[in-house]
Amino acid sequence: MREQVLAWLAENVPPSRVNHILRVEQMATELAVHYQLEDVTKAATCGLMHDLAKYFPPQKLLSIARKEGLEVDYVMEAAPHLLHADVSAIIARDTFGVEDEEVLQAIANHTLGRPGMSLLSCIVFVADTLEPGRGDTPELENLRAISRENIDYAVWKTSDYSLKFLIESSCLIHQRTILTRNWFLQKSRKQTTIRPFVS
């Protein structure tokens, strides 16, 4: 199926985005191996399919989301690209026959996150932001180190990184991003084995 997905991506996504997708596939796979995920191929599948709907026009994203019965709030109305993760999961299911609910959830959660995400969802969420093509600043390198130390802590700190970018860019912020950040912050603080990182 990988070749089928790659062929579809070549027709629907710019080459620069395909390169990003392949890097997310690679990093998600590496993190899945590192955290001894039971089925590493799930992480690869999520990485490969996470941005299927990235370049869908806004009205198409809104139409598919509404048809599926997804909640479309005022932030998503104003910034429909926020729906591309949820719609990518729908495309994965309807176009490529993906039935694994954990895989579909990980694809759907990769942008806004969700409180209580599975390990697979956490891996894809972190890989999307931290894959090597995103840059090599000290902050990103530190986050990559954290991602291999404690995945829950990595989700919290990656959320902080994204929120800072959104604020500095004067972008709308969806409440799910904040809920995700707060949930993983609380979970991380309850853990006593986190190595202290400079952030």
Give the CATH number of the domain where residue 51 resides: 1.10.3210.10
Classify residue 49: in a domain, yes or no: yes
Task: Count how many domains the chain has.
Answer: 1
Classify residue 24: in a domain, yes or no: yes
Which residue blocks in 50-117 are alpha helix, DSSP H?
58-68, 74-78, 84-96, 101-108
Give average pLDDT by consecutive 10-residue segment, the chain, 199 residues: 96 96 98 97 98 98 97 96 98 98 98 98 98 96 97 98 97 97 94 54
Range of the domain at 133: 2-190
Q: Quick one: CA torsion of 98, 102, 104, 110, rounded to 10 degrees? A: -140
Place of tokens 């198409």: 60
Question: Could you report the per-residue pLDDT of 131-189, keeping only the tens digit for each?
Answer: 999 999 999 999 999 999 999 999 999 999 999 999 999 999 999 999 999 999 999 99
